[in-house]
Structure 1
Amino acid sequence: MKLDGAQREIMEGARGETLAKVMKTLVSYGEAFGAEKMVPVTSKGGHLVTSFGLGVMKPVYALMDTLIEGGALSAQPFSVDPRPLAKEIPVNFFQNLLFKIMYSKQADYEKQLEKLGLMNPKAFTCTCYMDEVGNKPEKGEVLSWAESSAVVYANSVLGARCNRNSGIIELFGSIAGYVPYFGLLTDEGRKASWKIVVKTTRKPEAQILGSAIGMKVVEDVPYITGLSSWLGNELNDDVRSYLKDMGAAAASNGAVGLYHVENLTPEAVERGSALIQKDAREYVIDDAELERVKKSYPCIWKNPDAKPKLCFIGCPHLSLSQLQSWTERLESRGGKLKIPVIMTCAPAVAEVFNKTAYAPRLKKTGVILSSICPLMYMNNPLCGKMPVITNSNKLRTYTSARYYTDDEILNYITTGAVQ
């Protein structure tokens, strides 16, 4: 790899042995993917996917101590994925005990994060790009992130540039201030090798559409046509929320790090079909294909006919407009819950939402508003055995939670039955 003078000085130890090791690691990482050079990280904020203080992650904590002691701190303030614990979430005695054992290092780990450059105590969310959070990258900025749903959103909806990095490597990029130049950082790597043709008779469910795309293209870049006829050509709050959920499903059911939507996402608006490679394959998605994809999801509950004990809405975290929309939808159905419902959002989004007239209305329905990571909650073996339902394809993919569409979820939590 070709390094400039400043980069070579770092790797040769001019700024300390610890930072030299960080740079050597990034160079090795880049060389593994054929990168020929390093480029500066230009975003104002980093993001770390590893937010949980699992007792077994001793090497991570030792690494963090080494970085702190060596003065290799983040060159930019960073946000972190959601916390795995929250006092407002209902748990029984044994679940609570297991949580305390599993995440015994949470408090200590958060102290390490603060020393390394954590933005603030509220910066725990997978939707770090929300306006309220304060870590929204600009178009064309180079990032060092790993959280899959955040990476795909930043690349696609915001037009920033970031590879699907691994955990810790993302932090190294923020510490060194450089990342290897390959993949989705390059113009060629951002071209689409798939053309997705949406031919549905109604607005596709974002979670199922993203799932279908992810399972078909896997890690490739898709160019989606026909979707703007349902979403329009303006990136308003509702459209951004739709694309957030679609992208998260594509990133978890596949490994999509970037998609383009014709007439809608910034690079597609600028360059149009020029983003599609000449040999791109085509995938047509109609009503029947979406139904086929949905029916392919397995139910891994011990008793498939069990009555759900809990419902999670918000993985990734909900936007302000989604919280408002869910409040209105619950009220339209009488606002009475048949099972406990947890809606999750970023702490900063919750802070803004709680100042609106919607907050007491949502609370009146009985919904629990939290900033927990639903995935981390479900990874507790005792919680994982519970029959939990969700409208998140990401949560369905990584846990035992059972997926239902937004309409099905609304019916289930207000009537106790699904149509």
Structure 2
Amino acid sequence: MPEFAVTARRLVAGNAQGELLYADVGLSFWGGVDPFSGEVIDRHHPLSGQIIAGRVLAIPSGRGSCTGSSVLLELILNGHAPAALVVAHPEEILSLGVLIAQSLFDCGLPVVCIGPEAFSRLHDCAFVRVEDDRVSAFTQIPADNWQATTSKTSVTHGATGPIALNDTDRDLLAGKHGKAAQVAMQIVLQMAELQGAGELIDITQAHIDGCIYTGPASLRFAEQLLAWGAAVRVPTTLNSISVDQRLWRQQGIDPAFGEPASQLGEAYMAMGAQLSYTCAPYLLDSAPQANEQVVWAESNAVVYANSVLGARTQKYPDYLDICIALTGRAPLTGCHLDAGRLATLLIQVAPLGPLDDAFYPLLGYHVGALSGSQIPVLDGLHNAAPTRDDLKAFGAAFATTSGAPMFHIAGVTPEAASIEQALGGLPAQHIETVSAAGLLESWNELNSAPSAQLGLVALGNPHFSLSEFAVLAALCEGRSKHPDVALVITCGRHVQQQASAAGYLATLDAFGAQLVTDTCWCMLGEPVLPVGTTSLMTNSGKYAHYAPGLVGRTVHFGSLAACVEAACRGFVSGELPAWLSQAHQPREKLSDV
């Protein structure tokens, strides 16, 4: 007999069973799970080092990157996927990866949502069985010889009834605009059902995150759409790809990786997407305006578009982004609606005195962990006057530890002239406080390097802006980096051209900095990351979190000025910023080796 059984909401139907792998912390599959082995590589996660293959994975929800759907597709096709996914809250990114596996490759796994209360009861269980909408949990392996059937999985039906379609939608479904658009519309409608949307809306532009090469499945998907005649129906930009398309051979990238990674970018351009290759599309001239309905993927870009620009997009999974670009239609749900943009969590930030630029990525990282999937409104920063670069750094780190698609900062972001506006006139469902002591804990978490040794300073995650180049050039003027330290900046081609015209690149070249375009630090490894380097420094809260799992290096995190000082000295001082030193608790001194 099971310890308990519960009726679940089927996100993707099916049946399976297996040993339970449980965590009460959300997990980003991109940067958190190795797509070729199923190992949890997020070194900050309680499941770090565990193998998810063949087990029933129970997590409250996903979090972080939109590329989680692509990683899960790779795992399904290479045989290292979990047997089933059990979540506490509806999970769209991972569900979409399963739907793609089902729609294009005729395989998949069940995904079920059981709610927070039932989810917490799994903590003491060892084995879980999923039978469509029934989830049974056991303290030991049952001896009843139950076998999962091999019937094809399918998406659950939404609770809102049939989705209203217009004539163009029906033509797309009928194949009048080609096979690729037909399949894309089928997938869009499956997700609309899962989300409970009653209708679709027109969108004005798309930003595609699925151009990141996660393995053979990502290229198979794009090439299949292209073979079916895929062509985007709206202006479409491309996220960072996995290599510098112009220089990867000169950089020494293995052709076994470089060639398919470059081909993937070319496949999306063949569908009509622009050659943008940036994880910061809000820096392009095509950035959307307030209230513009768009479809963006890439977690930091989504958060920035919603929160800072006031545009409207969901946190779209890889592959759903291109499906919507091929149809021009998106489910009317979530942040596309006024109600879906309201904060439910109030976070009060205690005064900390004069701040430097390390504050905002650290705060974003900390607030993201506090928020989970809730949209927060922060109080206490209205006099701090954060810049667009500060908000970019905050949003990227926030999107790393949170599943929420946006944030509000009272008196700063466009939909939060007041706390009351951000909350929609309703009381906050939860209230949290950010103190210096709490930020210090997150600071120590991001600073994982045990020694002062340094081989690399990694800047540009997300991609550097022109104003960041201006600040960096001023910090580097008349100086030279240490010969044993590489300083590498990633940016988009358009910003590279602007920085060159402004004279910033000449200054940085004299300093000894290197520039990489088209790709970003979450996709880069050796030899761009110097072979033999054991630790690196970054001013990115996002990369400080992901680097230990992605590239196996320990990390120093600090301000841009601290990064330049370390690059010049050849080592990291380990000093806390003044605004954080008030909460200082003795930390083991960094060794010199």
TM-score computed with the length of structure 2 as normaliser: 0.62
1:377 aligns to 2:515 (yes or no): no
Say whether residues 1:363 and 2:509 are aligned partners: yes
1:27 maps to 2:189:
yes
CA distance in 2, matches of 1:358, 1:62: 40
**Matches for 1:8-407 after TM superposition, within 5 Å:** 8-42=170-204, 45-53=205-213, 56-57=215-216, 59-86=217-244, 96=252, 99-120=254-275, 123-130=276-283, 133-202=284-353, 203=355, 205-231=359-385, 239-269=387-417, 272-276=419-423, 277-297=426-446, 299=448, 304-305=450-451, 307-331=453-477, 335-338=479-482, 339-371=485-517, 372-378=519-525, 386-400=534-548, 401=553, 402-406=555-559, 407=561
Structure showing greater radius of gyration is: 2
2:564 equivalent to 1:410: yes
**Structure 2 Cα separation of the partners of residues 17 and 82 of structure 1:** 27
- Structure 2 residue aligned with 1:4, among 152, 159, 165? 165
- Would the alpha carbon gap of residues 341 and 240 (structure 1) be closer, same or farther in structure 2, given more than 3 Å must change? same
Deviation at 1:107, TM superposition (A): 3.5
Gaps of 5+ in 2: 1-161, 576-593
Greater CA deviation, 107-116 or 207-216? Answer: 107-116
Question: In the alignment, residue 337 of structure 1 is paired with which amino acid?
Answer: K
Q: Name which of structure 1's ranges 146-155 and 272-281 shifts more when overlaid on structure 2.
A: 272-281
- Superposed CA offset, 1:362-403 (max 9, x none): 221111122231111138899697422211111122222514
Tell me how many residue pairs correspond in the alignment: 396
Contact 1:88 1:370 in 2 (8 A): no
The answer on whether the counterparts of 2:347 and 2:376 sit within 8 Å (CA) in structure 1 is yes
Contact 1:53 1:103 (8 Å CA) reproduced: no
Deviation at 1:14, TM superposition (A): 3.4
How far apart are the structure 1 equivalents of 2:403 and 2:457? 26
- State how far apart, in whole Å, the 2-side matches of 1:320 and 1:298 are: 27
Supply the distance in 2 between the matched residues of 1:50 and 1:5 (Cα, whole angstroms): 27
Partner of 1:312, secondary structure, is: strand
Distance 1:175 1:374, change over 3 A: same
Contact 2:278/2:463, CA 8 A, preserved across alignment: yes
Letter in 1 for 2:451: D
Rounded Cα–Cα distance in structure 2 between residues aligned with 1:351 and 1:90: 19
Higher relative contact order (CA 8 A, sep 6+): 1
Residues 11 and 260 (structure 1 numbering): CA distance in 2 closer, same or farther, change over 3 Å? same
Structure 2 match to 1:236? none
For residues 162-211 of structure 1, give each alpha carbon's deviation from its aligned partner in whole angstroms, at most 9, with x where no partner exists.
11111011111111101112221121111101112121323371110000
In the TM superposition, residue 415 of structure 1 has moved relative to its aligned partner by 1.7
TM-fit CA distance, 1:66:
3.3
> Partners in 2 of 1:384 and 1:185 — Cα distance?
47
CA shift at 1:340, angstroms?
1.1
Q: Partner amino acid for 1:349?
A: V
CA RMSD of aligned residues (A): 2.6
Kept in 2: contact 1:151–1:162 (CA 8 A): yes
Q: Secondary structure at the match of 1:296?
A: helix
SS across alignment from 1:265: coil
TM-score when normalising by structure 1: 0.87
Amino acid of the residue matched to residue 106 of structure 1?
A: A
Structure 2 counterpart of 1:18, which letter?
Answer: A
Distance 1:259 1:87, change over 3 A: closer
Contact 1:11 1:23 in 2 (8 A): yes
C-alpha distance in 1 between matches for 2:244 and 2:181: 35
Q: CA deviation at 1:153?
A: 0.3
Q: Can you list the C-alpha shifts for 1:236-269, whole angstroms capped at 9, x where unaligned?
A: xxx1110001000000122231111112211113
**Structure with the higher fraction of residues in helix conformation:** 1
Query: How far is the alpha carbon of 1:286 from its aligned partner?
Result: 2.5
Partner in structure 1 of residue 17 of structure 2: none
Cα distance change on mapping 1:86 and 1:383 into 2, 3 Å = farther
Aligned CA distance change for structure 1 residues 168 and 90 (closer, same or farther; 3 Å): closer
Question: Using the alignment, how far apart are the partners of 1:325 and 1:316 within structure 2?
Answer: 16
Task: Give the share of equivalent positions with the same residue, in percent.
Answer: 23
Partner of 1:235: none
Q: Which amino acid aligns with 1:392?
A: S
Q: 1:366 to 1:217 in 2, by over 3 A?
A: same
Compute the displacement of 1:112 (Å). 1.4
Partners of 1:365 and 1:296 in 2: CA distance: 31
Q: CA deviation at 1:64?
A: 2.5
SS of 1:284's equivalent in the other structure is: strand
Q: CA deviation at 1:222?
A: 0.8
Q: Would the aligned equivalents of 1:214 and 1:253 in 2 still touch at CA under 8 Å?
A: yes
**What is the CA distance between 1:414 and its match in structure 2?**
1.9
Q: Write the letter of the residue equivalent to 1:409.
A: C
